[in-house]
């Protein structure tokens, strides 16, 4: 079987290619360039050289493709629009659906690939009703949360060779095979932002829109530079402190009031304004047959959160209302709530309101 592996220049995708090569498949690498700004935080040039070195060691071809224009149109434009609206989007979810398993999968098929593999920690299992997305064996690295929005057709073409092994084994295999990236540091942060200061980056693309910072009882405590620069649950970075008649305790962003351009903050980590049992979503994406009745499941409202029992109520236009057994802290509009039945990822949706 001819398989194209999306190579990022990191150890995970390198071992994905190694594993498939050892299984006897015809393997080729594909390096995607998705960001076209050259600065101190952009590692694309070095990542490409690392991917080339891996392919030389494995004796496989490497293709390179530039999807920067598609990324700006299909992912980054949505990222900015959501921030302007005061929400906090997750561009990695959209990148997987639109870029990695969208235009990149299409390109891999043009190259003759039967399957497209990545270094994601997740499992694709052939079920009775078709392919299923399951959590990785390494629970600490499981990335099914970021893959929940791909379509069943995209999942059908996908391979995740790392789903059955943990990260320490990945590095051991890379070292044993002499792969030059065996000890390369894992990348962190949002895909196109990386480790650059987030607010500085956002300020290059969105104007300041100052407004009041208020306590829960309406007392004005200071001024924020713009609602897009803050997220629910955020601690610090508010420029307030040492206020008369108030305790010296951390402040947390609890609410955004776009109508008044006000940021509401509280001093308790689990203040009632930060806690919610119910949320509403936009239209859901399903990796199973679209449900026709309400059901119970487990949910995550952020990556690496433990599964939270919930009841899922179907709403018009594919929307959902989700009621949790326990209050959830800082459920954030724009982020995704992802649903599970045991190890299987059922799908998910973008949080609209709490």
For helices 11-22 and 44-58, give the axis angle rounded to 10 degrees.
20
Contacts of 267 (CB under 8 A, 6+ apart): 246, 247, 249, 250, 251, 252
Characterise 54 by phi-psi region: left (phi > 0), alpha (psi -120 to 50), beta (else). Answer: alpha
CATH fourth-level superfamily of 207-269: Adenine nucleotide alpha hydrolases-like domains (2.30.30.280)
How many helices (H) and strands (E) the chain has is answered by: 10, 18
Q: Class for domain 276-353, per CATH?
A: mainly beta
Q: Is 256 left (phi over 0), alpha (psi -120 to 50) or beta?
A: beta
Q: CA angle at residue 47 from 150 to 142, to 5 degrees? A: 40
100 backbone dihedrals φ, ψ, rounded to 5°: -65, -45
- Superfamily classification of domain 2-176: HUPs (3.40.50.620)
Q: How many CA atoms, within 13 angstroms, populate the side-chain half-sphere of residue 112?
A: 7
pLDDT at 239: 85
Catalytic pick from 95, 104, 310, 345? 95
Domain residue extents for the chain: 2-176, 207-269, 276-353
Q: Of residues 104, 191, 310, 345, which has the active-site annotation?
A: 191
Which of 287, 354, 345 lies closest to 320 in space, CA to CA?
Answer: 354
Instruction: Find residue 30's DSSP bridge partners.
Output: 6, 63
Determine the Cα–Cα distance for residues 159 and 120; give it in Å rounded to an integer: 9
Cα gap 294→311, rounded to integer Å: 8
Sequential pLDDT tens for the chain (354 residues): 999 999 999 999 999 999 999 999 999 999 998 877 656 666 788 899 999 999 999 999 999 999 999 999 999 999 999 999 889 999 999 999 999 999 999 999 999 999 999 999 999 999 998 999 999 999 999 999 999 999 999 999 999 999 999 999 999 999 999 999 999 988 765 655 556 677 788 888 999 999 999 999 999 999 999 999 999 999 988 888 777 777 888 899 999 999 999 999 999 999 999 999 999 999 999 999 999 999 999 999 999 999 999 999 999 999 999 999 999 999 999 999 999 999 999 999 999 998
104 catalytic residue (yes or no): no
Residue 42: active-site member: no
């Amino acid at each position: 079987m001819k398989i194209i592996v999306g190579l990022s220049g990191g150890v995970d995708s390198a071992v994905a290619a190694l594993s498939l090569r050892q299984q006897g498949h015809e393997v080729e690498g594909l390096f995607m360039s998705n960001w076209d700004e050259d600065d101190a935080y952009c590692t694309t040039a070095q990542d490409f050289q690392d991917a080339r070195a891996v392919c030389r060691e494995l004796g496989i071809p490497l293709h390179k493709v530039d999807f920067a224009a598609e990324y700006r149109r299909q992912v980054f434009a949505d990222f900015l629009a959501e921030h302007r609206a005061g929400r906090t989007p997750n561009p990695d979810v959209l990148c997987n659906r639109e870029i990695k398993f969208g235009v990149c999968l299409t390109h891999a098929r043009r190259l003759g690939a039967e399957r497209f593999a990545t270094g994601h920690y997740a499992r694709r299992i052939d079920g009775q009703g078709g392919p299923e997305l399951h959590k990785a064996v390494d629970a600490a690295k499981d990335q099914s949360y970021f893959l929940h929005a791909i379509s069943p057709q995209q999942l059908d073409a996908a391979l995740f060779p790392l789903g059955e092994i943990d990260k320490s084994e990945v590095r051991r295999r890379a070292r044993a095979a002499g792969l030059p990236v065996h000890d390369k540091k894992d990348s962190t942060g949002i895909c196109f932002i990386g480790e650059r200061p987030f607010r500085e980056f956002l300020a290059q693309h969105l104007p300041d829109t100052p407004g009041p910072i208020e306590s829960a009882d309406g007392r004005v405590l200071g001024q924020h530079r713009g609602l897009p620069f803050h997220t629910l649950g955020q601690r610090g970075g508010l420029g307030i402190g040492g206020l008369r008649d108030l305790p010296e305790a951390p402040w947390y962003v609890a609410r955004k009031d776009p109508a008044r351009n006000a940021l509401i903050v509280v001093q308790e980590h689990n203040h009632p304004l930060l806690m919610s049992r119910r949320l509403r979503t936009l239209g859901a994406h399903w990796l199973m047959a679209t449900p026709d009745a309400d059901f119970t499941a487990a949910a995550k409202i952020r990556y690496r959160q433990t599964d939270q029992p919930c009841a899922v109520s179907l709403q018009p236009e594919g929307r959902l209302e989700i009621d949790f057994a326990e209050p959830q802290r800082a459920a954030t509009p724009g982020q995704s709530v992802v649903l599970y039945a045991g190890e299987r990822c059922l799908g998910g949706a973008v949080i609209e309101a709490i």
